[in-house]
Amino acid sequence: MKNKLVFAVWMMCLLSACTEPWSIDLDQVQPRLVITGALGTEPGLYEISVTRAVNYFSPETELGVSGAVVTIDGVELTENPESPGRYQTVADFAAESGHEYRLEVRLDFDGDGEDELYTATAVAPQTVPLGAFSLMPVLDDPNRYFPLSAVIYFIDPVGDNYYGARMHYIVGDSLSQWRKVNYSDSPDKCVFNLFDSRVEDGSLIAYPCFMFGRRVTLAPGDTLMLFPTDTVELELNNYSPDYYEFVRQLREAASGQNPLFMTPVGHYTGNISGGALGAFGVYTASSRRLPILYKNRTWTNKELRERFGERALELYPDNEDPE
């Protein structure tokens, strides 16, 4: 669990021109600057992370680099005082489709008394509307509701598009208060379910992007149980090409063939000029929501009472415990 380089870059991409491939020797990593981040078209606060790559066996845990001057189109970002190395936009920033954004980072990283300049540009792609999505039982069993497959439907515009799907759970507790759980941003999940449109260019796409059960593990020791009226939100993103490719490479390194904490030496291509690693990009967003439906014999009466209190008897009077 000591692969600080890949883990740090991966985590910064969750939140959020090296113009040639770069190799990592886990025993001999020299200090390198890593710059990652992406802007979105939905109003919000976005971050650019500036960190250091360290030796695989280094005991260092604080990798954020403070003191950089980070600008987007000449507007300076503010460093998060609680998270060194994370530089934030204003709270309601929103990118515009078709606009080219220029990132500049000025920093004396090598300590020679002169600031180095690292830059990248990215054009915000067009927003692709998410037409609909469905929650479909995976098993052909009328008595089973879970597991569910989340399938998205949309018209793919002609041309190259680079998609990511995010999933969020919007969960209500017994006091009718709501919280949004970013399932896709959990450290042990892929940040995006990535796919491009080269196969079905210009046509209707139906894409099964996630599958989940009644209990969802968000992180080790953190399990969420879904109940009726909880809401699943699916977000369709369209990414600028360089950032999509960078995140795709990180995803492959951190899951599937190469689990996150067993990542071998690899090549990762980004778009940051000036000798830094990483990538800068822009993405669009379109989302829809669906509630979790009630089905008899899916939850025990005890579970329903723990979630809804005594109202459970009124809401689901005929519920039977699962066999």
Give pLDDT tens digits for 258-310. 333 333 344 567 999 999 999 999 999 999 999 999 999 999 999 999 888 88
Strand 277-291 relative to strand 32-40, pairing: parallel
Q: Which residues contact 36 (CB under 8 A, 6 or more apart)?
A: 9, 12, 13, 16, 48, 49, 51, 246, 278, 279, 280
Q: pLDDT tens-digit profile of 78-100?
A: 999 999 999 999 999 999 999 99
Confidence of residue 166 (pLDDT cuts 50, 70, 90): confident
**Nearest CA among 284, 214, 206, 278 for reference residue 249:** 278
57-66 — which CB contacts under 8 Å span 24+ positions? Answer: 57/2, 57/26, 57/27, 58/2, 58/4, 60/4, 61/4, 63/4, 63/8, 65/33, 65/107, 65/109
Residue of higher predicted confidence among 104 and 200: 104
